[in-house]
């Protein structure tokens, strides 16, 4: 579908204002496809007509607001269980054992999955703890999943997945151990869900808690930010992470040349640690 420059700019500005994501020219082609459902729902035939409707006076933003529908449709909610397994496997094999040593006195571990989409990453982490429940007996485990998309968070809270979704990243044994097949799909069991929670949140705003999280996963979120927005996101993540905690990014993301809040973790792929206090202070004062 052909999208005029004026309409593209209005849609891009809306997405940036609501989420911080930068809709580059290279992603312009997917506007028509992504908004197909919005077109059908409102009887709209093209992007120019949609933009005209967006300019009409409307009530305050709600889940039914047209602008919200457009933004939700443009978000990339691609995810699956145990995504990027070689990277993810570092969590149970390296990161969690190290955190267990560092938190032996409190016996509490808090994890934040920023940009969790429909919850597969959160539930993957919960399954790790459930599969080692004797190891973590007596510990308090809290896994928070957040996403800018209201729709994704609603889906994540249900813990209900289609056959296609559970087959992406899960083995048969894992499915049978942690899910129950229902007429509506595969329902994750309560013993997995009890250490998880979800809330709508934008990574560019005040974090859910300051200095509390021992591990933050923010994978394939920063890809869609421009340099300045990415730098602001790193500051938010740094303020949420415990001084001796870990940050995990996606395979195509890095802190190098982006922020002085974090440094690469030695011998760990896509995992980062907090920079020394003087370097961090200079960045925050500059920002």
225 within 8 A of 20, measured Cβ to Cβ: yes
Residue 80 falls within a domain, yes or no? Answer: no
Q: Are residues 142 and 277 located together in one domain of the fold?
A: yes
**Which residue spans within 12-149 are E strands per DSSP?**
108-114, 140-147
pLDDT, tens digit (0-9, with 9 covering 90-100), for 200-231: 999 999 999 998 999 999 999 999 999 999 99
Q: Are residues 191 and 148 located together in one domain of the fold?
A: yes
Beta bridge partners of 144: 112, 197
For residue 236 the two structure tokens come to: 């938010």
For residue 88, pLDDT beyond 60 = yes
The closest alpha carbon to 51, from 14, 16, 20, 2, belongs to 14
User: For strand 160-161 and strand 185-188, is the pairing parallel, antiparallel, or unpaired?
Assistant: antiparallel
**What does the radius of gyration of the chain's CA atoms come to, in whole angstroms?**
20
How far is 267 from 197, CA to CA, in rounded Å?
A: 31
The closest alpha carbon to 231, from 213, 252, 256, belongs to 256
The closest alpha carbon to 212, from 103, 91, 94, 120, belongs to 103
Task: With H, G, I as helix, E, B as strand and everything else as coil, classify residue 123.
Answer: helix
How far is 270 from 218, CA to CA, in rounded Å?
A: 10
pLDDT, tens digit (0-9, with 9 covering 90-100), for 9-58: 999 999 999 999 998 887 888 888 889 999 998 898 888 889 888 876 54
Q: Are residues 157 and 23 located together in one domain of the fold?
A: no
Q: In this structure, what DSSP letter does residue 26 have?
A: G
Which pTM was predicted?
0.89
Residue 233 falls within a domain, yes or no? Answer: yes
Domain range for 219 is 85-286
Q: Are residues 215 and 121 located together in one domain of the fold?
A: yes
42 within 8 A of 53, measured Cβ to Cβ: yes
CA atoms within 13 A on the CB side of 26: 2
Stretch (H or E) spanning 214: strand 213-218
Q: Are residues 60 and 161 located together in one domain of the fold?
A: no
Q: Are residues 49 and 101 located together in one domain of the fold?
A: no
Beta bridge partners of 154: none
How far is 68 from 149, CA to CA, in rounded Å?
A: 9
pLDDT, tens digit (0-9, with 9 covering 90-100), for 161-193: 999 999 999 999 999 999 999 999 999 999 999
Q: Are residues 218 and 116 located together in one domain of the fold?
A: yes
CATH label of the domain that carries residue 200: 3.40.50.150
* Number of other residues whose CB lies within 10 A of the CB of residue 206: 11
Counted domains in the chain: 2
How far is 147 from 78, CA to CA, in rounded Å?
A: 12
Q: Are residues 103 and 240 located together in one domain of the fold?
A: yes
pLDDT, tens digit (0-9, with 9 covering 90-100), for 101-134: 999 999 999 999 999 999 999 999 999 999 999 9
Q: Are residues 54 and 162 located together in one domain of the fold?
A: no
What does the chain come to in residues? 287
What are phi and psi for residue 221, nearest 5 degrees? -105, -45
pLDDT, tens digit (0-9, with 9 covering 90-100), for 233-260: 999 999 999 999 999 999 999 999 999 9
Q: Are residues 154 and 174 located together in one domain of the fold?
A: yes
- In order of 95, 137, 202, 251, the CA distances from 134 in angstroms are 18, 5, 35, 32
How far is 231 from 175, CA to CA, in rounded Å?
A: 39
- Order of strands, sheet of 160-161, starting from the edge strand that comes earlier in the sequence: 160-161, 185-188, 179-182
How far is 72 from 152, CA to CA, in rounded Å?
A: 9
């Amino acid at each position: 579908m052909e999208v005029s420059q004026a309409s593209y700019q209005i849609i891009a500005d809306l997405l940036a204002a609501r989420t911080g994501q930068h809709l580059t020219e290279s992603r312009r082609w997917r506007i028509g496809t992504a908004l197909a459902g919005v077109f059908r729902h409102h009887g709209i035939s093209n992007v120019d007509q949609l933009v005209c409707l967006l300019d009409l006076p409307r009530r305050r933003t709600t889940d039914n607001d047209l602008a919200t529908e457009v933004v939700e449709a443009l978000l990339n909610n691609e995810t699956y269980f145990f995504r990027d397994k070689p990277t993810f496997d570092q969590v149970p094999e390296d990161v969690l054992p190290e955190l267990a040593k560092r938190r032996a006195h409190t016996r509490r571990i808090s994890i934040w999955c920023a940009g969790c989409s429909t919850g597969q990453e959160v539930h993957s982490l919960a399954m790790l703890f459930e599969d080692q429940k004797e190891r973590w007996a007596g510990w308090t485990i809290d896994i928070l999943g957040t996403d800018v998309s209201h729709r994704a968070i609603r889906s994540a809270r249900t813990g209900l997945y289609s056959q296609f979704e559970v087959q992406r990243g899960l083995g048969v044994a894992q499915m049978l151990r942690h899910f129950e097949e229902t007429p509506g799909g595969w329902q994750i069991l309560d013993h997995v869900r009890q250490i998880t929670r979800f809330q709508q949140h934008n990574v560019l705003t005040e974090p859910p808690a300051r200095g509390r999280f021992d591990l933050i996963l923010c994978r394939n979120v920063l890809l869609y930010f421009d340099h300045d927005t990415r730098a602001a996101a790193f500051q938010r993540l740094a303020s949420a992470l415990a001084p001796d905690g870990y940050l995990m990014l996606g395979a195509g993301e890095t802190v190098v040349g982006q922020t002085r809040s974090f440094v690469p973790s030695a011998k760990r792929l896509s995992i980062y640690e907090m920079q020394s206090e003087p370097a961090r202070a200079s960045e925050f004062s500059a920002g």
